[in-house]
């Protein structure tokens, strides 16, 4: 008997904040990942992970800034190696410099005591038929922190980060804040929980509606969604994948 849940047709077992944000930014790229395209990430993403490790290290009292930087660098260089990216490439050197400068800022700029980091959450959201999963960056006594690494100071809370933190607040019942960290300091924003949850539900329902168009994900791509070659997220790797489906 065929399920009436379109997520099951395409072996989509869960949603996440990153899936919702990917869908909102580009329906075509989100569908390509559902169809099996492997995502490629670069040094900037690895920088974000490394800075998060350093902040949690300091917050959990594991050591000082020097050992926090060592832990961050270990993660960064490992991810570069696994991604077959040379640590001597201009992009890798640039991001490493940002890691060093940001951790130096955290030496005096980080004051929160962290009681847990990278907590896995899984929960049902409204009538969405599959769970949401994610990992909470840091949990403190009275709040959870979603940490983002920025090269430059920001004065605006991104809708994508707000949604992610709102989902984690929904799952844990702990008020969430988004921390933007960079070499010049930390900017902190309170989360608009209602707006974030509304955005997540709208995205999840829209994804389910698109998945219901056909039980063949390639057919959905061929008939309804073509990549925008002017989208900076779509490079040679992505176009090759789409062309293999589109027969071009």
Give the tens place of pLDDT for each residue, 202-236. Answer: 999 999 999 999 999 989 988 877 777 777 777 77
The verdict on 120 and 211 lying in the same domain is: yes
- Whole-angstrom Cα distance, residue 61 to residue 164? 26
Question: Tell me, what DSSP letter sits at residue 103?
Answer: H
Query: Concatenated DSSP letters for 206-247?
Result: HHHHHHTT-S-HHHHHHHH----TT-TT--HHHHHHHHHHHT
The answer to whether position 146 is within a domain reads: yes
Q: Which of 109, 129, 160 is the last residue of a domain?
A: 109
Q: Say if 3 falls within a structural domain.
A: no
57 and 71 in contact (C-beta within 8 Å)?
yes
Considering the domain architecture, whether residues 141 and 126 belong to the same structural domain is answered as yes
Q: Are residues 155 and 209 in the same domain?
A: yes
Residue 82 DSSP symbol? H
Rounded distance between C-alpha atoms, residue 43 and residue 147, angstroms: 17
For 171-200, what is each residue's pLDDT tens digit? Answer: 999 999 999 999 999 999 999 999 999 999
How far is the C-alpha of 209 from the C-alpha of 206, rounded, in Å? 5
Whether residue 198 sits in one domain with residue 104: no
Q: Angle formed by the axes of helices 65-82 and 90-109, to 10°?
A: 150
User: Does 136 lie in the same domain as 31?
Assistant: yes
Read off the pLDDT of residues 66-99 as tens digits, 9 standing for 90 and up: 999 999 999 999 999 998 999 999 999 999 999 9
Does a structural domain hold residue 132? yes
**Neighbouring-strand partners of residue 187:** 180
- pTM of the prediction? 0.91
Question: How many domains, the chain?
Answer: 2
pLDDT for position 2: 56
Q: 66 and 128 in one domain?
A: no
H or E stretch covering 160: helix 159-172
Q: Given 109, 125, 141, which residue is the final one in a domain?
A: 109
Is 1 part of any domain? Answer: no
Are 26 and 136 members of one domain?
yes
> Are residues 161 and 83 located together in one domain of the fold?
no
Summarize the confidence of residues 36-58 as an average pLDDT. Answer: 91
Higher pLDDT among residues 242 and 91, named by residue: 91
The predicted pLDDT at position 222 comes to 85
Beta carbons of 183 and 98 less than 8 angstroms apart? yes
SS3 143: coil
Q: Is 128 helix (H, G, I), strand (E, B) or coil?
A: coil
| 216 and 151 part of one domain | yes
**Same domain for 67 and 128:** no
Check whether residue 59 and residue 138 sit in a common domain: no
* Other beta carbons within 10 Å of 192: 17
**Is residue 30 over pLDDT 60?**
yes
Together in a domain, 149 and 32: yes
Which of 80, 109, 138 is the last residue before a domain boundary?
109
- In the predicted structure, residue 55 carries a pLDDT above the cut 80: yes
The residue range of the domain holding 60 is: 43-109
Q: Does the residue 5 lie in any domain?
A: no
């Amino acid at each position: 008997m065929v399920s009436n849940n379109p997520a099951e047709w395409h072996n989509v077992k869960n949603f996440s904040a990153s899936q919702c944000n990917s869908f909102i930014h580009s329906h075509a790229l989100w569908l390509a990942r559902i169809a099996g395209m492997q995502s490629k990430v670069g040094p900037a993403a690895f920088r974000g992970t490394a800075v998060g490790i350093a902040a949690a290290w300091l917050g959990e009292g594991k050591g000082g800034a020097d050992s926090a930087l060592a832990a961050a660098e270990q993660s960064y260089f490992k991810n570069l190696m696994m991604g077959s990216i040379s640590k001597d490439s201009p992009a890798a050197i640039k991001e490493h410099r940002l890691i060093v400068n940001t951790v130096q800022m955290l030496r005096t700029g980080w004051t929160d005591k962290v009681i847990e980091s990278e907590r896995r959450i899984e929960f049902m959201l409204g009538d969405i038929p599959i769970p949401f999963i994610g990992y909470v960056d840091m949990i403190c006594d009275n709040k959870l922190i979603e940490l983002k690494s920025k090269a430059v100071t920001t004065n605006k809370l991104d809708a994508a980060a707000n949604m992610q933190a709102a989902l984690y607040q929904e799952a844990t019942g702990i008020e969430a804040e988004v921390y933007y960290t960079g070499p010049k300091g930390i900017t902190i924003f309170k989360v608009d929980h209602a707006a974030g949850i509304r955005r997540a539900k709208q995205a999840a329902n829209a994804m389910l509606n698109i998945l219901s168009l056909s039980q063949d994900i390639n057919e959905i791509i061929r008939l309804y969604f073509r990549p925008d070659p002017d989208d900076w997220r779509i490079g040679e790797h992505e176009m090759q994948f789409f062309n293999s489906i589109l027969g071009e």
